[in-house]
Amino acid sequence: MKASLVVFLAAAVAAVPQRGLGGGGLPVVSTKTLTPKLRANAKRVAVKYGPFELLAKDDRDQLADAPHRQAKKSPGSMDPKGQSGMSTLSGGLCGGCTVLSAHYGLEYPDGKEAKPESGVYIHHLVSYDTSKQAQSPIGDCNGGSGIKMPFGAQFVDRGEDSGDTATTFASADPSSNSGYHMSAKAKLIVQHDLVNYENTAKKLYIVLDYEYLPGLQGNDAGATLKSVTACGVGGPKVDPKARAVTTGKPMAVTADATVTWARGHLHAGGEKMELFVNGKHTCDSLPKYDAQGVITTMTLCPQPIKLKKGDTVSINAVYNLPKYPLRKSTDGHGAAHGVLGGSDVMGMFAMTYEKA
């Protein structure tokens, strides 16, 4: 992908279809109470939204007039026949609460998870809380405070490589109640890029599984998504015959903070994501591949990372095509995707943070 995160998000905005998952609100279908994982006094629920229809692979280009279908074109998709756009989630949110962790999933009407082996690939789901403004302590490469997202504060992201790994806002200190403060006015915008590998339309539901504490407790945590392509770097680089490393530019830390949780994001072909603080190697996030060559999980940075104002953070993306082939897209190839061009590769770090 030869575009920065700014271009990626700009394409996403341009890709807003008209109905269903592509622009309207998805209603709450059900709410299920689950056992909390992080704090014994917390609550955990799985909220199901939908349904929406993912068009058949070869029907993606048709203009669908039925409710909950995609529009004719998906210029923001990174797959030739991917389906991209946005929707809103407003019901089912705790409101006036402290979110400790959250995770998105996709389900079929029978409750089974939608996965590549059943024909559905999650290129990405990225969500924003429209009731808040982003205040990431990791700014841009020019010493500024970073990109002002037009949708609100970053909330939770999900790619196929995320698997069942939840985004965690909770402090590693079990005595701390800090987490993401979700207001009573919270509404989530979910930007998506999904792929149907089959020529059969699929009815799907988004499931938001989140753990929370009632009330706004402790310090307010946040989330940020950083791309190795930022500041004109381009890439990530790939070479069919050799290992390729894309080196990101240093990003300024604008406030004292602790990175609570960090997970790399790669596509097939990726070997690892590397994280550096002040040029010193701090963490690797490694992919786990299944037998079909799909990344199912990425390892997490093992410890919280302390940051001071004036520090720099940088990331590298490592791709190794001789060892890990690119994903086959819906046109039968592993490269040249969508308006962004280039190979279907990304190199990012998703992080949550708590300011000092």
Three-class SS of 31-76: EEEECCCCCCCCEEEEEEEEEEEECCHHHCCCCCCCCCCCCCCCCC
Better-scored residue on pLDDT, 63 or 78: 78
Residue 63 has pLDDT above 50, yes or no: no
For the purposes of burial, counting CB atoms within 10 Å of the CB of 63, is it exposed (0-12), middle (13-18) or buried (19 or more)?
exposed
Q: Give the separation between CA 165 and CA 299, rounded to whole angstroms.
A: 9
Question: For residue 58, how far is the Cα from the chain centroid?
Answer: 26
| 44-48, 55-59, 160-164, 331-335: least confident range | 331-335
Q: Model confidence over 101-135: pLDDT tens digits?
A: 999 999 999 999 999 999 999 989 999 999 998 88
- Look-up of token digits 């402290």: 98
| 29-43, 46-60, 257-271, 282-296: least confident range | 46-60
Predicted TM-score (pTM) of this structure: 0.88
Q: 190 with 206: CB under 8 angstroms?
A: yes
Q: Model confidence over 203-245: pLDDT tens digits?
A: 999 999 999 999 999 999 999 999 998 877 787 999 989 999 9
Enumerate the β-bridge partners of residue 33.
45
Strand spans (E) along 1-159? 28-34, 43-54, 83-89, 97-107, 120-129, 153-158
pLDDT given for residue 14 in this prediction: 38
Q: Model confidence over 67-107: pLDDT tens digits?
A: 334 434 455 677 777 888 889 998 999 989 999 999 999 99
pLDDT given for residue 175 in this prediction: 85
CA neighbor of 142 nearest in space, from 257, 230, 17, 263: 230
Residue 311 has pLDDT above 80, yes or no: yes
Going by their DSSP bridges, the two strands 257-266 and 305-307 should be labelled as antiparallel
For the purposes of burial, counting CB atoms within 10 Å of the CB of 117, is it exposed (0-12), middle (13-18) or buried (19 or more)?
exposed
Residue 16 has pLDDT above 50, yes or no: no
Residue 297 has pLDDT above 90, yes or no: yes
Tokens at 119, concatenated: 């024909």
The enclosing H or E element of 343 equals: none
The neighbour count for residue 340, using CB atoms within 10 Å, is 17
CA distances, 287 to each of 90, 119, 163, 189, 269 (Å): 33, 21, 11, 28, 10
The arithmetic mean of pLDDT across residues 282-298, rounded, is 95
Residue 3 has pLDDT above 60, yes or no: no
